[in-house]
């Protein structure tokens, strides 16, 4: 024990946060198991376990578990983790606690790309939407960052936020114009636009998983970088950080995370906004802990919303994107009121 006692305190805090991560990991595993076990059709646990261990493709119940619920759960895990990480990184990069991946034009870019794929190229299945949604989301973020970088000051948080808002409005207008002239595209697009985990298969997971895996590793390595950027550009430079390169690396991770999640599950709202705030109750502003906590809280929230949507409306279901919006809207209002009270 040191004379100041600070190392012991830091070690104690680290141990508590590590224990919290482990508990979150267990919670995510339990929620994933429930996601596989719970659905519109009630299946006994023995049937679910038998389908996972001894698949019989002649048994319809086994096919429900393996071909519908397992891919749905995997998409919830991947998209939730990606949205949680992307939300924490966007808020850190823009220094805006009310930011989420959509502020960088991700949803708008993906939506326009999907609409064009349906209307112009005749793409009609979700496995085709993945690539166009991913490309559209990535192009939008790159364009926002490029616009925000113009000028002598470079890509400041305020300029990136304003560029994202402007581009989102512009792309949304183009998307609406295409849909108004093509009702068939609208009928196909509206299912994707709601945002949800249903109707996706294992092929979609296989297409997006490599990009998301690389992005998650890259994002988790950006904790110290975001801590430096959070102190301001001048302080980050004093710490020896190249601000432009740091923002570019963080931006690349955000592109891969938010683009992949949007392509997988559609534009899921509020997960990227709410999850980092929930994580900060435990981690504080330290991104070295905030990022892994957000990566686990994201799938926990998304899978819980998906399960709730299946249980509440049984034998039908409510898309996870609708449930997260219902949950997230009060969170956004509470955050806005809290910031107003803090400012006054």
How far is the C-alpha of 154 from the C-alpha of 5, rounded, in Å? 42
Three-point CA angle 84, 89, 92, nearest 5°:
130
- The DSSP secondary structure of 28-46, one letter per residue, reads HHHHHHHHHH-SSS---HH
Closest CA to 228 of 238, 219, 220, 218: 238
Q: Return the pLDDT at 254.
A: 87
| Mean pLDDT score of the chain | 81
Cis preceding-peptide flag for 315 (omega within 30 of 0): yes
pLDDT digits (tens, 9 = 90+) for 260-294: 888 788 788 788 888 998 898 888 889 999 999 99
Closest CA to 137 of 115, 120, 113: 113
Residue 168: is its pLDDT beyond 50?
Answer: yes
How far is the C-alpha of 119 from the C-alpha of 134, rounded, in Å? 17
Residue 248: is its pLDDT beyond 50?
Answer: yes
Given pLDDT bands bounded at 50, 70 and 90, which one contains residue 6? very low
Q: Return the pLDDT at 218.
A: 93
Residue 10: is its pLDDT beyond 60?
Answer: no
Q: Calculate mean pLDDT across residues 146-168.
A: 78
Q: Return the pLDDT at 333.
A: 74
Q: Calculate mean pLDDT across residues 144-160.
A: 76
Given pLDDT bands bounded at 50, 70 and 90, which one contains residue 174? confident
Helix (H) and strand (E) counts for the chain?
Answer: 15, 0
| Lowest-pLDDT range of 131-135, 160-164, 232-236 | 232-236
- The DSSP secondary structure of 265-302, one letter per residue, reads H----SHHHHHHHHHHHHHTT-HHHHHHHHHHHHHHHH
Q: Is the dihedral of CA 6, 7, 13, 16 positive or negative?
A: negative
Q: Return the pLDDT at 154.
A: 67
Check: CATH 3.30.1360.120 for 21-339? no
Q: Return the pLDDT at 60.
A: 85
Confirm if 331 and 94 have CB atoms less than 8 A apart: no
Given pLDDT bands bounded at 50, 70 and 90, which one contains residue 207? confident
How far is the C-alpha of 294 from the C-alpha of 300, rounded, in Å? 10
Residue 27: is its pLDDT beyond 90?
Answer: yes
pLDDT digits (tens, 9 = 90+) for 118-151: 777 777 666 667 788 778 888 888 888 788 777 7
Given pLDDT bands bounded at 50, 70 and 90, which one contains residue 5? very low
DSSP state at residue 88: H
Closest CA to 230 of 252, 216, 214, 250: 250
Closest CA to 307 of 124, 54, 40, 56: 40
Residue 106: is its pLDDT beyond 60?
Answer: yes
> What is the rounded end-to-end Cα distance, in angstroms, of the chain?
43
Q: Return the pLDDT at 292.
A: 95
Q: Return the pLDDT at 304.
A: 92
% residues pLDDT > 70 (the chain) = 88
Domain boundaries, the chain: 21-339
pLDDT digits (tens, 9 = 90+) for 310-323: 888 777 788 888 88
- The DSSP secondary structure of 137-203, one letter per residue, reads HHHHHHHHHHHHT-STT-S-HHHHHHHHHHHHHHHHHHHHHHHHH-HHHHHHHHHHHH--STT--HH
Residue 184: is its pLDDT beyond 80?
Answer: no
Given pLDDT bands bounded at 50, 70 and 90, which one contains residue 48? confident
Given pLDDT bands bounded at 50, 70 and 90, which one contains residue 76? very high
Q: Calculate mean pLDDT across residues 105-109.
A: 82
């Amino acid at each position: 024990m040191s004379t100041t006692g600070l190392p012991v305190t830091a070690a104690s805090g680290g141990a508590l946060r590590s224990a919290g991560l482990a508990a979150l990991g267990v919670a995510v595993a339990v929620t994933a198991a429930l996601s596989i076990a719970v659905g519109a059709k009630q299946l006994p646990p023995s049937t679910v376990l038998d389908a996972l261990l001894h698949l019989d493709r002649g048994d319809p119940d086994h096919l429900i578990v393996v071909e519908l619920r397992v891919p749905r759960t995997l998409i919830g895990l991947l998209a939730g983790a990606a949205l949680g990480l992307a939300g924490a990184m966007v808020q850190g990069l823009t220094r805006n606690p009310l930011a989420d991946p959509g502020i960088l034009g991700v949803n708008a870019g993906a939506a326009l790309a999907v609409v064009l794929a349906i209307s112009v190229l005749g793409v009609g299945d979700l496995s085709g939407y993945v690539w166009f949604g991913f490309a559209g989301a990535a192009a939008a973020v790159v364009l926002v960052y490029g616009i925000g970088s113009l000028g002598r000051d470079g890509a400041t948080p305020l300029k990136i936020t304003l560029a994202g808002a402007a581009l989102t409005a512009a792309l949304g207008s183009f998307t609406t114009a295409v849909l108004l002239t093509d009702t068939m595209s609208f009928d196909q697009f509206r299912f994707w636009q709601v945002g949800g985990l249903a109707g996706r298969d294992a092929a979609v997971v296989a297409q997006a998983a490599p990009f998301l895996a690389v992005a998650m590793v890259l994002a988790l390595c950006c904790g110290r970088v975001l801590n430096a950027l959070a102190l301001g550009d001048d302080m980050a430079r004093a710490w020896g950080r190249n601000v432009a390169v740091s923002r570019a690396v963080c931006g690349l991770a955000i592109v891969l995370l938010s683009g992949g999640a949007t392509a997988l599950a559609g534009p899921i709202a509020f997960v990227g906004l709410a999850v980092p705030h929930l994580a900060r109750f435990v981690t504080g502003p330290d991104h070295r802990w905030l990022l892994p906590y957000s990566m686990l809280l994201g799938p926990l929230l998304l899978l819980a919303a998906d399960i709730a949507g299946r249980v509440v409306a049984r034998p039908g279901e409510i898309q996870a994107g609708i449930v997260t919006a219902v949950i997230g809207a009060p969170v956004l209002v509470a955050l806005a009121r809290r910031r107003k009270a803090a400012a006054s």
